[in-house]
Amino acid sequence: MMNHKIIKLFESRKGNLDYRVKRDYIRNGIATIPCRISDYNDVISAYSVKGFETLNTEFVEYLQSAAELAPPEYPLVLNIVGDCLSEDEKKTIEYIIRDDFAYDLGVVERKEKRHMRIFCGMFFGLIISGVLLYLTHVLAEEPRELLFILFWFMGDTLCDYIFLTGHDLRMDRVLAGRLASIKVVFSESHKEPAYTTNDVDKLYSEIERDVNETIQEEE
């Protein structure tokens, strides 16, 4: 009896995600992700060679998981804390972070285009199969069953894209876009971020300029 009551208590417990996110990340409309490092290879993979650097897998996982917690309307700032980096290493880290996540954004965009082609094909296929079902009501039962199965399959795929897969892809694209536009700062010790209104305006302007540049490159 006691175990049953304890389980009920656990089931009724509420989380505090919003409070924790605002307390740990959000300051004046900006989400700051602190990351303490002790070595250059905490960020850049030790398997990389100069000129072909890639990010450390653990670092990527940490950054992605932290970014996912912050609501999508907040731009991201990565504060790398440590006194172990040279100026050249800082420049390399800043460039590779944005470049690798811009590559990830391109992968998500390719997936979106592929799913959009599938969506269009299924949409027109649904219309055609629906019209055929309506016009072939005099057919025998077996051909109509095949048309009905085709109609159901296409409708189910469309619903999945609209409400599940499509939504997930849009969220992945937003996250990849935020990480591709992340601002990287370096500090020797962790301090509570205190952004002024000018800091916020400057960051938004930098992100807007960066996004517009990528659009112009595509055109």
pTM to 2 decimals? 0.76
From CA 131, how far away is CA 94, in angstroms rounded?
56
Q: What is the pLDDT of residues 37-76, one digit of tens each?
A: 999 999 999 999 988 999 999 999 999 998 988 888 888 9
**Could you state, in order of their start, the residue ranges of all structural domains in the chain?**
17-218
Q: How are beta strands 183-187 and 76-81 bridged, if at all?
A: parallel
The sign of the torsion formed by the CA atoms of 90, 95, 96, 98 equals positive
DSSP 3-state of 202? helix
For residue 143, the model assigns a pLDDT of 67
Q: What is the pLDDT of residues 4-45, one digit of tens each?
A: 678 777 777 777 767 677 776 788 888 999 999 999 999 999
Kindly state the DSSP code that residue 38 receives in the 8-state scheme: S
DSSP 39-104: SGGGTB-TT--TTS--B-HHHHHHHHHHHHHS-TTS-EEEEEE-S---HHHHHHHHHHHHHHHHHH
Say if CB 31 and CB 76 are below 8 A apart.
yes
